[in-house]
Amino acid sequence: MFCDVSGCIFCRIVAGTAPSTRVYEDDTLCAFLDIRPITRGHTLVIPKRHATDLDDLDPELGARIFTLGHRLAKAVRRGELAADGANLVLNDGKAAFQTVHHVHLHVVPRRHGDRLTFAKGFLLRRPHDTETTAAAIRAGLDRLETEENRP
Ligand code: 5GP
Ligand code: ZN
């Protein structure tokens, strides 16, 4: 399948040649704040290796992407962001409104009764205080790990 990796903004983020506010990284995955968030803490999980869409994605990597999305959804419930839930969304292909053609899973934190804020955020897509937001998500991930390691 054709993919113009050199022109891919998410590949450039992985390579560090385009800026991003990262919240998590390992050998195969990277998670960073969406530049135009719907809600505070809106994060994208991507494979480091370019895959254009689900047809192009190794299923094991797909499972890892979801696992990290799952952890982030739990992390944003912990600490300062105090989410009550999250929307996990993957737009697969142009027909499904995928605009960046490097697979990514959206993790969009939600609060009880946030319907109006969500609708406004969906229209305006304005960034929040990125550094404190990213720090809150990282702290949530740390808290989650502490909970998991508790005997
Ligand atoms: P899609 O519609 O393809 O599922 O969503 C692509 C997402 O990527 C959008 O939410 C958009 O705001 C985000 N995005 C596009 N370009 C950049 C960028 O350069 N940096 C970051 N952090 N997010 C981006
Ligand atoms: Zn790419």
pLDDT digits (tens, 9 = 90+) for 17-37: 999 999 999 999 999 999 999
Q: Which of 42, 102, 104, 106 is catalytic?
A: 104
Which residue of 35, 38, 101, 125 sits with most ligand 1 atoms within 8 Å of its CB, as the best mutation to test the pocket?
A: 35
CA 21 centroid distance within chain: 11
CA angle 135, 136, 141 (to 5 degrees): 95
Comparing 30 with 5, which gets the higher pLDDT?
A: 30
The rounded mean pLDDT for the chain is 95
Q: Is 101 a catalytic residue?
A: no
Q: Could you give the domains of the chain? A: 9-116 (3.30.428.10)
* Residue 109 DSSP symbol: E
Q: Is residue 137 within 8 Å of 118, Cβ to Cβ?
A: no
Residue 2 pLDDT level (bands cut at 50, 70, 90):
very low
C-alpha atoms less than 13 angstroms from C-alpha of 41 in its C-beta half-sphere: 31
**pTM passes above 0.85:** yes
